[in-house]
A and B are shown apart, each in its own frame.
Chain A
């Protein structure tokens, strides 16, 4: 029982958006510094001199350390040779913003010092005015790694998930409208004593349930990764969408059953005028949604950005931190993060920074699921409306009611197929659309020194995040192994936008040629 309560408390904390925005954590010190450098000057900072830890050393598991940026106490300016990227002194050229001329990292001009506490593996940013700690800490299994060269890291930086406020707002509005209509119809149905209205209200109730599930899934998927859910909560989106769509199936099944019953029993209670009014309201509802939500299907307007991303170190200072790492695919040679787009703007620039084969930018899958709910409702209303019209003019053709129900139920089920297929591909660990397995293999084979690619596995973490793992057999000679690893990782990340890439390098030997288990997948 207590566990439930704790879960509930945690959940309510997560759902409050202020909490989420108040912390930043990363297992990479550089990222942390970048984040700090975006603070504006109002953020008061306490003074402290900090010793920069030995940048070449690697922290052992379980140790603690405070790394700080050296600050000139008299005027509060950061000492130029304090940038963790260099070991020799450099002078800065930029005066308003204190910038390191070597790596370009910037620090707020009149900051007097920033404390960064590094604990075992994660990094907490402690802002002295309001000390905030991470509500979710990446667990102790990770280690902090500090490189002296700011370039290559073996892992991608943690990125802030761009909270998809547009999607959430739409869903909240839709549920509100749904509730309003439902209450109206329930009251109207009670007063008029009509069955059609009551079943329509029940249908709206399931729509509402679908919206709630989608919203819940959207909120949950924002949570950061934990030790046990090491990839994060992204899959929650997909599971939520699947549940939501299954609800539609169940409801449609029940409606079909009712219709069959009516046909068998030959007893119809039809009150045509009320049916007309009810379905008319439903039609208006549906048309409103169709008009406001029709944008998602256009390719360039996307509500979530493809999350394939490379190293995104240098963010432009004017952007807010939330957008700084709204990752786009970027090759490592290009140090500037090209741009970010506000989720609601029309932009096709997401693909421009690289020849990325990122999956087609579709709206968030939960929004799609909610949209399918609305479409299903709309179709049913159309059916009822058509039936009501017919019965109004020809009162003897009551059989048209169940027939319409059947027809439109089939249509509704048909609309759900696309989204169910998408979710099933993700949940079955399949390759998302737009990525070709053989092409990825060819890309890897092109790296110089790679002889064989085997155990290539590509799967989706969520609709727009793709992960890959592979074993590469390279020519024996250990000096090239590391560079081959780097090259292949960069290549595959920049070309396809995979967000988790793990490559195991093995020495090639002749028996691999004939090893049956290493044969390419036959299909």
Chain B
């Protein structure tokens, strides 16, 4: 039996669309699993999703609005994790001719969007808390105590994992961490009895590893800590954003627990909204740093790490033979640790272009800018 000599593989049977989609998905999953950070993210996402689904079904089964709304809140938080995952997948795509620098910026964008998201959440917690201050509703908290403790444990796992590996897991933080979803954010639901115990209390008493981040000054320490230990350079922004998300959730759970305790022990119903306000402020403060940094990267600011080395570079450039002036230097960050620069040098007529170009490139490589474009303008006189 003769073996076929040719194999027609591209004419009549195109891929069925279904298998192509599945293949794409499989490819993405492989990509996620290959990198340690995104693998952690993925696992944590699955964990949270399981938790959220369990909570949802339990809530529907027992017909408890508080549980249902809290599970929705968890799903809502999942989106931050999903955004981080998507960004880490996108950042690995190769450059196309529509995106000549590739897709590495996705990382910075993910950090920025996560930060914005958290800021919005903080605002809504604040508005909710103010509402509760004006009309203190009655709270019932027995059933949710267990759930919030469980959620806290999940969050702690997340913090532990992502502090070292960086990745941002959204921890749903269990029942009723003071986010607005936790029941009663609209007027009509004030009628429902099954409110979540409100919100967050001072997280200062919380003793997880990143505990020093709770105060305002500590926030900056905290970020640099999380940032340094977080992942590889390429994933830094994503991991920071995700980590902040988990932190916000943890603060929420802690707040719920403590305020529930306070209310049970001392009947201080006013503790509720006050705690929420504090937590909202804390979240705001902790997120501002990330937003500022991402915004500057997106605005193409000169990278911080080479900021004070640049004047020296210009001096050294001027010392090259033939260089008369340095015009229009532009340096910006593409993603973490990848810097791009362009500069225009005015050179005299008989200068050696290759010498100048090579040395200029060396000078800039010395400070870490690997992608340089150097334009030499010869003076005609």
Docked-complex contact B346 and A145, CB < 8 angstroms: yes
Check: A458 CB closer than 8 A to any chain B CB: yes
**Contact of B353 (CB < 8 Å), options: A199, A230, A429, A481:** A481
Binary CB contact string for chain A from 480 to 517 against chain B (1 if under 8 A, 0 otherwise): 01100100000000000000101111110000000000
Decide if B143 is an interface residue (CB 8 Å cutoff).
no
> Does A437 touch B at the CB level, under 8 Å?
yes
Q: Does B120 contact A (CB under 8 A)?
A: yes
Whether B295 pairs with A239 at a CB distance below 8 angstroms is: yes
CA distance A223 to B98 in the complex (A): 29
Bound form: Cα–Cα A208–B357 in Å:
52
A297 at the interface (CB under 8 A from B): no
Which of A243, A425, A455, A459 is in CB contact (< 8 Å) with B116?
A243
Contact call B327/A521, Cβ cutoff below 8 A: no
A429, B301: Cβ atoms under 8 Å?
Answer: no
Q: Is the CB of A233 within 8 A of B189?
A: no
How many A-B residue pairs lie within 8 Å, measured between CB atoms?
181
Nearest residue, chain A, Cβ from B343: A502
Instruction: Say yes or no: B106 contacts A505, CB within 8 Å.
Output: no
* A470 interfacial by beta-carbon distance below 8 Å: yes
In whole Å, how far is A203's beta carbon from the nearest beta carbon of chain B? 12
Cβ-based interface call for B379 (8 A): yes
B374 in the interface (beta carbon within 8 A): yes
Chain B, residues 294-323, CB within 8 Å of chain A (1/0): the string is 010011111000010011001100100000
Instruction: Let me know if A471 is at the binding interface, CB within 8 A.
Output: yes
Residues of A within 8 A of B311 (CB): 141
Q: How large is the interface on A (under 10, 10 to 19, 20 to 34, 35 or more residues)?
A: 35 or more
A429 contact from B97, B188, B334, B357, Cβ within 8 A: B334
A152: chain B residues within 8 A (beta carbon): 380
Which residue in chain B gives the minimum CB-CB distance to A456?
Answer: B100
Contacts of A404 in B (CB 8 A): none
Quick check: is A428 within 8 A (CB to CB) of the other chain? Answer: yes
Contact-size category for B:
35 or more
Contacting pair B344 A502 (CB below 8 A): yes
For A506, the chain B residues whose CB sits under 8 A away are 357
Q: A173 on the interface (CB 8 Å rule)?
A: no
Chain B residues within an 8 Å CB radius of A235: 298-300
Interface membership of A102, Cβ < 8 A: no
Cα A424 to Cα B376 in complex, Å, equals: 33
Q: Do B181 and A257 touch (CB < 8 A)? A: yes
Stretch from B68-76, B169-177, B217-225, B242-250 contacting the other chain: B68-76
Given known A61-B318, A239-B299, A458-B100, contact A230–B375 (CB-CB < 8 A): no
Render A38-70 as a binary contact track against B, CB cut-off 8 A, 1 for contact: 000000000000000000101101000000000
Show 16 A/B contacts (Cβ-Cβ < 8 Å), sorted by A. Answer: A56-B381, A61-B318, A61-B326, A155-B328, A257-B181, A261-B189, A264-B65, A267-B188, A267-B191, A429-B334, A430-B99, A437-B100, A459-B101, A481-B353, A502-B344, A504-B357
Instruction: Please give the residue numbers on chain B whose beta carbons come within 8 Å of chain A beta carbons, in ascending order.
Output: 65, 68-69, 72, 76, 94-101, 103, 105-106, 109, 113, 116-117, 120, 124, 180-181, 185-189, 191-192, 295, 298-302, 307, 310-311, 314-315, 318, 324-332, 334, 342-344, 346, 353-354, 357, 371, 373-381
The 4 closest A-B pairs by CB, nearest first: A154-B377, A143-B325, A437-B97, A502-B342
The residues of A with any CB-CB pair to B shorter than 8 Å are 27, 56, 58-59, 61, 141-143, 145, 147-149, 152, 154-155, 195, 198-199, 227-231, 233, 235-236, 239, 243, 246-247, 250, 253-254, 257-258, 260-262, 264-265, 267, 269, 424-425, 427-431, 437-438, 455-459, 461, 469-471, 478, 481-482, 485, 500, 502-507, 521-523
Known: A257-B181, A481-B378, A502-B375. 11 other contacts (CB 8 A): A56-B381, A58-B346, A230-B331, A239-B298, A260-B72, A261-B189, A429-B101, A437-B98, A456-B100, A504-B357, A521-B100
